[in-house]
Amino acid sequence: QVQLVESGGGLVQAGGSLRLSCAASGSIFRINTMGWYRQVPGKRRELVATVTRGGSTNYADSVKGRFTISRDNAKNTVYLQMDSLKPEDTAVYYCNADHYYLGGDTMEYWGQGTQVTVSS
């Protein structure tokens, strides 16, 4: 089992910044892609950004140029630097990790979520 623990959410004014962190722990063999998703009540969870083990990144159009995803493979940790925040960025942000097990099986894990609220 792998556990993901997020931190760094909170309340910020529009135009401000927050940095989310997500640390993986447990029986880790190798974590491949890690990412951040977000969800608001009544809507589907949506992709924010992902980063591969090699450092390739992918962003939702709505956050390009404002958010930066990064990771530290040695610490099994992924970060999301969020700048120029907008009220529409308000959501619960979830960390996601794609874990590779010896033998070839993979399993997807989710964190518990952290609330980000951007006031106008």
Q: List residues bridging with 23 in a β-sheet.
A: 5, 77
Residue 93 confidence (pLDDT): 98
* Per-residue model confidence as pLDDT tens digits over 5-15: 999 999 999 99
* Per-residue model confidence as pLDDT tens digits over 66-114: 999 999 999 999 999 999 999 999 999 999 999 998 888 889 999 999 9
Percent of the chain having pLDDT more than 90? 91
Report in angstroms the alpha-carbon separations of 64 from 8, 26, 54, 81, 87. 20, 32, 20, 12, 16
Query: 44 and 117 in contact (C-beta within 8 Å)?
Result: no
Q: Is pLDDT at 34 greater than 90 in this prediction?
A: yes
Here the tokens at position 111 are 């964190």
